[in-house]
Amino acid sequence: MSVEVKIPAVGESITSGIVSVWHKKSGDFVNAGDALFTLETDKVSTEIAAETSGVLDTVVPEGREVKIGEVVATIDDSKKAPGGATVERKEKAETKTAGPKENDEKALSPAVRRIVDEESLDAGKITGTGRGGRITKADALAAVNKVSVGDAAGISEKEAPSPTEDRQMSDGRIVRKRMSPLRRKIAAQLVMAQHTAAILTTFNECDMSAVQELRAKSQDAFKKKHGVKLGFMSFFVKASVAALKAVPVVNGRIEDEDFIYHNFYDIGVAVGTERGLVVPVVRDADKKSFADLERDIADFATKAREGKLKIEDLTGGTFTVSNGGVYGSLLGTPILNPPQIGILGMHKIMPRPMAIDGRVEVRPMMYLAFSYDHRAIDGKEAATFLINVKESIEDPKKLSLDF
């Protein structure tokens, strides 16, 4: 009997997605639980697994946009695996004796696999510079650049057809590429934020000396005890929570003609990926230790890079912290993440001469930017919030250190 493989519901607001890559091909025997394909939506990418064992028959090609509930394949569960365990042992033996080129498809890391899949690259044509000829992330990105600029040593459009209808002019001066669902969602969200909120940004700067000294002093013991490094982000999450408690309006949102105050602190932490910016949410940040925060942030960063974030990881935040300093940004104005009405922007730490008690001293300084919705937050409240963050960072003992 043939069992239909349908696109499952992956979130309340998601109605469609793109079958970005098939992990199994038509005619392959699949076991229950095997990953069949990756569904890319405007929020996350999700691997869809087989619910039963049998022979797969795909009916939708890679790159096709599909609706929730649409049938994309069937599995004939009346057929058994040919040769059973004997075939499995044979495949393993072949894998061991195969050369690097034959195993390129199976040896790709998650990060490389995502780039290859999304850019429709032929892994067999990418020269691997890693150990044993493995393709590294840098190799994959270099291949993407060659395709984009029409490099003479790159791959032509005919050699690497794109499921997202990329088109390149004959002279190579222009490349038209369809935006991914995530990129389109980000674009729509940013425009919506600009159109629906009265966004203002206020600035301040903080002296990072105390945090740097405390971090350097505690790093070895912290890592030995908790298994994670002590970063700057946990300090700013803690400082933001303290400031939100001091200025509760920043932790709320506007809904029609009402204003809703949140008595919980779910803090979004912006993470940049190859596919775009995502904002996973650290739940109940006020109840978590520095070690808990660092584990959550590190886990989210890994999931984001590998495309394994779930819908529930990205929804329900009350405030967001974004660190542009990791990319070298000295100063910027972050855009709100609706329906939130506040976002804190961190920036690069730069040594600058400062007047300290009548003397000029060089201190490690960071500019802070707080963007807010002026419909709900006044300038006084915005300045008070940012000064609270600044004071907590400059005197971290206020943050109930629990190293």
DSSP, residue by residue, 288-340 = --HHHHHHHHHHHHHHHHHT---HHHHS--SEEEEEGGGGT-SS--PPP-TT-
| CB 376, CB 250: distance < 8 Å | no
Positive or negative, the CA dihedral 22, 6, 188, 265 is negative
Instruction: Please tell me the distance from the alpha carbon of residue 289 to that of residue 319, in angstroms, as a whole number.
Output: 18
Catalytic choice (151, 220, 378, 402): 378
Catalytic choice (151, 374, 395, 402): 374
DSSP, residue by residue, 201-256 = EEEEEEE-HHHHHHHHHHHHHHHHHHSS---SHHHHHHHHHHHHHHSGGGG-EEET
Angle between helices 233-246 and 290-306 (to 10 degrees): 110
Does the active-site annotation cover 313?
Answer: no
Q: What is the 3-state secondary structure (H, E, C) of 132-169?
A: HHCCCHHHHHHHHHHHHHCCCCCCCCCCCCCCCCCEEC
Does the active-site annotation cover 378?
Answer: yes
Catalytic residues: 374, 378
